[in-house]
Amino acid sequence: MHFSRRHAIGALLLGSLTLSACGGWRDSRVNPRNWFGSSEEAIVAPEEYVNPLIPIEEERTRIRVGRNDEDVDVPTEPITEIADLRIDRTTTGAIVVATGIAKRQGAYDAKLVPVETETGATLTYTFEVAYPEAATYKGNEATRTIRAAVNLTQQELRSVKTIRVEGATNARESRR
């Protein structure tokens, strides 16, 4: 079969129109990769003045240790830095995955704790960790990197426009 110049130009035109239509899918809200944008650095409100000589009452988490299953109070605190925030879409909603950098090695019991906000359009979490009582090395950043995640349903996400995760020195947020 022999194509004429007219057929070649028609095929080239049809191919270019098809490829140009693909760009709309990339930016479309139907595309699951555009559900939440990439995270960006956000401003953390400064804490009120705290006298460093007066001990601060710390939040405590109950965990079970030892053979007697004794409850022990373990202090938790916000992780030093939020390095990354990712929202992965699932069939039932989304998984919010935060990556943080602890101030020293050995941090454990990482969790995203919800923070009450005035508007329902923003979900705010504090990334909290516990540290061992014994002194540990600071180590390099790779050895202090920790991830925590929380699962959200479609009902919980219905009116949410922004998801924000806060640490001690910074915060990251992702918007729809």
Say yes or no to pLDDT of 59 above 60.
Answer: no
Per the model's pLDDT, the better-predicted residue between 164 and 23 turns out to be 164
User: Which pLDDT score, from 0 to 100, does residue 56 have?
Assistant: 59
Residue 18: phi and psi, rounded to 5, are -65, -45
User: Which pLDDT score, from 0 to 100, does residue 5 have?
Assistant: 77
What is the per-residue DSSP string for 115-173? E--S-TTEEEEEEEEE--SS------GGGGEEEEEEEEEHHHHTT--EEEEE-SS-EEE
User: Which pLDDT score, from 0 to 100, does residue 86 have?
Assistant: 93
Query: Quick one: 98 exposed, middle or buried, by C-beta within 10 A (0-12, 13-18, 19+)?
Result: buried
CB 77 within 8 A of CB 58: yes
Round to whole Å and give the CA distance between 128 and 91: 27
CB 166 within 8 A of CB 127: yes
Confidence at 52, pLDDT banded by 50, 70, 90: low
Per the model's pLDDT, the better-predicted residue between 51 and 139 turns out to be 139
